[in-house]
Amino acid sequence: MELISGNQAVVRGAIKAGAEIFAGYPITPASEIMYEWIAQIKNHQKKDVCKTFVQTEDEISAIHTIIGSTLAGKKSFTATSGPGFSLMQEGIGLAFIYETPIVIVNSMRVGPSTGMPTVSSQGDILQTQYGSHGDYFVPVYASNSVEEAYVNTIKSFNLAAKLSTPVIHLMDGFISQLVENVTLQYSGEVVELEITPLTKSPTPRYYSGLTTVKGIPKTKRSEDYAKWITPKLKKKELIKDDEYEFYGSENAENLIVAYGGVSRLVYEIVDKYPNKYSLFRPIRIFPAPIKPLIELAPRYKKIFSVEANQSQYSKILRAESLLNIIALPVCEGGKYQPSEIYKQIEKHNES
């Protein structure tokens, strides 16, 4: 058992998953991931295990560096926060089209722009799906503890390798900074990359953001576009609706949907009012676990969605489930308490 932060746990998870390269640019509250990776490099050099750190000039360079190193056959990742995540959006779209299994950790802080660098948020939810242009998708994990930061990092690398696609691991800023006494354990599989390094490829490989068919650019015919994009988008269908937590009684009156750091506050509400509320917590928030939510819904009088933004995830849940979900945005100033959330819920419950 050891006392570590969420950011440190991310690095431990990356090492467990077999990551070899980290490229990034320092930004609050994700910088400790970079610092911890550097510290781990020193430890692993003694064991003849090669780990590499690349300090890039900005986040645009960071995302493209890990795309290149992954195509060279090395598991790679980066970490950032809101402003840097915005700069990475074109690169994320490129990684999707290149079918490149990279991991991006985003420690969320209040925005837009520079915002409140040291204050936790959940404001980047929609950006994970709609930040780049065109049709694409990115699986997303959202952690609510130090232990989960470790496990979800491993799962992010595994899913990226299985689907050959970028995966995003979200943490509220305070989960990144949270320090807990944990025993980090993971007994599941570690999925290896199935990429032949460019330097060892028996035949030349062509990489371009252009629509291509068998490596040849085809940018005029819709039929060629369909052949190019459809297999990539269909990978979404391979992801199961099984990564969520149900907390509380099935006989409670109402259901609260919450994820990440905010869900920790909802635990307290459920514990205090077990007959009134239960919690449904998506762990992999995209693709959203719609089927299990729909199956649970008939048991409850009302369903509330609580998140530290202007109801970004609630919009997705409503659109995909067609359920009547009451959105309760929590103030992004960072000072939210279980008692305040409970008061908001009760106002709607009484109406």
pLDDT digits (tens, 9 = 90+) for 251-261: 999 999 999 99
Q: What is the arithmetic mean of pLDDT over 107-135?
A: 94
Whether residue 279 is found in the same domain as residue 232:
no
- At residue 26, does pLDDT exceed 90? yes
The verdict on residue 193 lying in a domain is no
Q: What is the arithmetic mean of pLDDT over 320-343?
A: 87
- At residue 265, does pLDDT exceed 90? yes
State which residues form the domain around 18. Answer: 2-182
Q: What is the arithmetic mean of pLDDT over 76-95?
A: 98
Mean pLDDT is highest, among 5-9, 117-121, 186-190, for 5-9
Whether residue 74 is found in the same domain as residue 175:
yes
The verdict on residue 201 lying in a domain is no
pLDDT at 333: 67
d(CA 189, CA 227): 32
Q: What is the DSSP string of 48-100?
A: T---EEEE-SSHHHHHHHHHHHHHTT--EEEEE-HHHHHHTHHHHHHHHHHT-
- Report the SS3 class of residue 37: helix
- At residue 95, does pLDDT exceed 70? yes
Whether residue 249 is found in the same domain as residue 224:
no
Whether residue 142 is found in the same domain as residue 46:
yes
pLDDT category of residue 126 using cuts at 50, 70 and 90:
very high
The verdict on residue 306 lying in a domain is yes
Q: What is the arithmetic mean of pLDDT over 100-109?
A: 97
pLDDT category of residue 208 using cuts at 50, 70 and 90:
confident
Last residue of a domain, one of 216, 238, 260: 238
Return mean pLDDT, the chain: 93
The verdict on residue 196 lying in a domain is no
d(CA 203, CA 344): 61
Q: What is the arithmetic mean of pLDDT over 325-332?
A: 86
Whether residue 210 is found in the same domain as residue 264:
no
Lowest pLDDT segment from 46-55, 112-121, 244-253, 283-292: 46-55
Mean pLDDT is highest, among 37-46, 240-249, 324-333, for 240-249
Whether residue 232 is found in the same domain as residue 258:
no
Between the alpha carbon of residue 324 and those of residues 97, 198, 306, 318, 319, the distances in Å are 35, 50, 14, 7, 10
The verdict on residue 127 lying in a domain is yes
The verdict on residue 328 lying in a domain is yes
Whether residue 177 is found in the same domain as residue 233:
no
How many domains would you assign to the chain? 3
Mean pLDDT is highest, among 142-156, 194-208, 213-227, for 142-156
